[in-house]
Amino acid sequence: MQELLLSNGNKLPVMGLGTDDVFYLKKLFSCKNKEINRYIQACNYRLLKPVLKRRLAFIIAKAIKMGYRLIDTSSAYDNEECIGKAIKLSGIPRTELYITTRATNKQQYNGTVREGFLKSLKKLDLDYIDLYMLHWPVPGHYLDAWRELEKLYEEGYVRNIGLANCHQHHIEDILKICKVRPVLNQIEVHPLFTQKPLVEYCKSEGIQIEAYTPLARNDERLRRNRILRTIAEKYGKTQLQVILRWHIENGVVPVPRSTNAKRLEQNLEIFDFSLTSDEVKQIDSININSRLRYDPDNCDFTQL
Ligand SMILES: NC(=O)c1ccc[n+]([C@@H]2O[C@H](COP(=O)([O-])OP(=O)(O)OC[C@H]3O[C@@H](n4cnc5c(N)ncnc54)[C@H](OP(=O)(O)O)[C@@H]3O)[C@@H](O)[C@H]2O)c1
């Protein structure tokens, strides 16, 4: 896997693997009535959790063997143990991997970021994390939480510290108080929601952008898109491969998620072609500011 340089001189793989599994569970057990749906999901999740966790560990190990090196998780995903197992199952040395996890909102509210981090470390069965982030900038708490991350960095528990879901104003606040600058901001980016002003701002501050929901969860509007279809036909690639390549051309690190071996392979097959600058601009122009996930300035942090 190719790597890029972060502002502190450390390296980061140019693409990663997302591991948030919740969507997969929702797909398996859905019913139109929201209440019933929630109940079915809760029951099934409890019953099937051990099986699903084993399956997830197996698929992540497979992904690592295929060539994925950056693994993205969060203590909110309840899968850090699976990732710890997957690392061992893969047989790939720890030093070749780049493990990323995040402090939850609850830990920020409760002032337990450090305890939460140590739990993550234990669940992952690791002695350091490559990149530790704040999952969201929880109002009234994210500056203190950042200071906790700085301590973990200074103590050598984490190689890099970063942010997620931060708007420009959150970053400005952090830059005013920080001793250690954030190297990265993980935000929602895909052709329906390019967030150019924020991406440009981060670039100007030397903060690497990592794209979550980078495939827009295979949104139908992108599947129907003529620009993507034409470019995909030209290169003999799928539209989703073109989208991943577009992230790379823009210097953005995508972390696509798949729990399907064939699609995991497909998502890696993006390093044998490149897009012209005109094609990159054409894909940029698809943007309709359509956010699929939450807006950090307008969401209920107690529910996230
Ligand atoms: N910081 C945050 O707040 C935050 C928020 C959201 C996400 N994230 C991170 O970003 C990761 C990715 O985001 P995401 O899971 O929301 O969305 P995504 O990666 O854009 O899309 C995942 C969906 O696309 C499908 N897919 C993947 N590759 C495909 C392919 N080649 N062909 C067809 N379908 C394909 C997957 O289905 P199959 O599994 O069936 O292939 C899955 O349903 C997460 O897993 C998580 O690690 C972070």
Residue owning the nearest CA to atom 13 of ligand 1: 213
pLDDT at 46: 72
Distance 123 CA to ligand 1 centre (A): 23
Check if the beta carbon of residue 216 is closer than 8 Å to that of residue 222.
yes
Ligand 1 nearest atom to the CA of residue 292, by list position = 16
Tens of pLDDT, residues 243-284:
999 999 999 999 999 999 999 999 999 999 999 999 999 999
- Using DSSP's 3-state secondary structure scheme, residue 130 falls into strand
Predicted model pTM: 0.93
Sign of CA dihedral 12, 214, 23, 68: negative
Q: Report the pocket of ligand 1 as residue ranges, CB < 6 Å.
A: 18-20, 23-24, 72, 135, 164-165, 186, 212-218, 240, 255-260, 263, 266-267, 293
Residue owning the nearest CA to atom 21 of ligand 1: 217
User: Among residues 24, 45, 68, 77, which one is catalytic?
Assistant: 77
Tens of pLDDT, residues 74-129:
999 989 999 999 999 999 999 999 999 999 999 999 999 999 999 999 999 999 99
pLDDT at 23: 45
CA distance 212 to 164: 9
Distance 213 CA to ligand 1 centre (A): 5
Per the listing, tokens 């942090």 go with 301
Check if the beta carbon of residue 192 is closer than 8 Å to that of residue 297.
no
Tens of pLDDT, residues 21-63:
654 555 555 666 777 777 777 776 677 778 888 889 999 999 9
Q: How confident is the model at residue 8 (pLDDT cuts 50, 70, 90)?
A: very high
CA distance 229 to 208: 29
pLDDT at 29: 57
**82, two tokens:** 């699976």
77 in catalytic set: yes
What percent of the chain is modeled with pLDDT above 70?
95
Ligand 1 nearest atom to the CA of residue 102, by list position = 1
Amino acid at the residue 123? K
Residue owning the nearest CA to atom 24 of ligand 1: 217
Set out the domains of the chain in order of their start, with CATH numbers.
1-6+19-182 (3.20.20.100), 210-291 (no CATH)
What's the mean pLDDT when you consider all of the chain? 94
Check if the beta carbon of residue 112 is closer than 8 Å to that of residue 145.
no
Check if the beta carbon of residue 173 is closer than 8 Å to that of residue 205.
no
Distance 178 CA to ligand 1 centre (A): 32
Distance 154 CA to ligand 1 centre (A): 32
What angle (nearest 5°) sits at the alpha carbon of residue 129, between those of residues 157 and 113? Answer: 65
Counting ligand 1 atoms within 8 A of each CB, the residue from 218, 223, 303 with the most, and so the one to mutate, is: 218
